[in-house]
Amino acid sequence: MARSAASAVELTVGERTVRLSSPDRVYFPEHGWTKLDVANYYLAVGDGIVRALRERPTMLHRFPKGLAGPKVHQKRLPKGAPDWVGTVELHFPRYDLTADELCVTELAQVIWAVQMSTVEFHPWNSRRAAVEQPDEWRIDLDPMPDCPFDRVRRVAAVVEEVLDELGIVGFPKTSGGRGLHIYVRIRPDWGHQEVRRAALAFAQEVERRAPQDVTTTWWRKDRPSDVVFVDYNQNARDHTIASAYSLRGVPAGTVSTPITWAEIADVDPQAFTLATVPQRFAELGDLHATIDDIHHDLAPLLAWADRDGL
């Protein structure tokens, strides 16, 4: 529910009221979608975006002038936050600095971030109660520039096969770009370095099974231009990717959208946008609704890492 207030609107979000200034500012010029459209999108997928971000340190990708202006990668919570916006203090050893990052626990905090010109939400794979112990393993299928999406589909099938053999449940989503992500909840018993080792061991197993389609070569210049890079380094500390239901700051206004494994065979990632995902969400609900029901053991993958000398 919104109330006009001169050049602003007031949005009722649960028990909160969030003031949205400049609601008519165009954020996506290609479609004419405004700041208010962005807020209404996140309201429409509220349960999903809150589940994806809950208690996770979250970097914000802000566009103060819309996509026509510069993008701001914001780790520190923007100034002026109300006291009901949750945070966690993080330490960044490389710079010996600390920053208070947003930790979402309710939808009003997401809408407040939109008021601060946020379009994309990039959470950590750990939660603020145990920042150094991830509870999420991320499989990022990142196509190189000349890689057709059919190849991404084939690699996803191999990923599903290996996960099934391990007895692990993975939750796929589009990246909002040309790739796919598969998320797995894990027991928070290991640090970032060990989770990254496990992710690399898994990626190399996928590469062994599909050597014509996959690379795990780290340096971009050394990768073939038409294969899928399984980006295990997305599990390193302070590496973040767009959450489920996050808009992407691209002209098409695509969304990183949860999908079923069966949909991968004919899915068109570009069809999931600010305009289309709310209706899909209303019809299907959150396809990641059960993602927290089971947390898997990484021991088998760490045994693979030991075997491979990783």
Pick from 253, 139, 146, 117: nearest CA to 205: 139
Pick from 144, 113, 155, 124: nearest CA to 241: 124
In this prediction, residue 2 carries a pLDDT of 53
* For residues 43-53, average pLDDT: 98
Cβ-contact 35, 20 below 8 angstroms: yes
Structure tokens of 80? 């002026």
Angstrom distance (rounded) from CA 288 to CA 276: 18
Work out the pLDDT band at 96, boundaries 50, 70, 90: confident
In this prediction, residue 29 carries a pLDDT of 96
In this prediction, residue 117 carries a pLDDT of 97
Residue 190 — φ and ψ, nearest 5°?
A: -130, 155
What would the pLDDT profile of 153-204 be if each residue is shown by its tens digit?
Answer: 999 999 999 999 999 999 999 999 999 999 999 999 999 999 999 999 999 9
Q: Is the pLDDT of residue 85 over 80?
A: yes
**What average pLDDT does the chain have?**
96
* % of the chain at pLDDT higher than 70: 98
Cβ-contact 152, 178 below 8 angstroms: yes
Q: Which residues pair with 2 in a beta bridge?
A: 11
Q: What is the DSSP string of 101-135?
A: EEE--SHHHHHHHHHTTEEEEEE-SS-GGGTTS-S
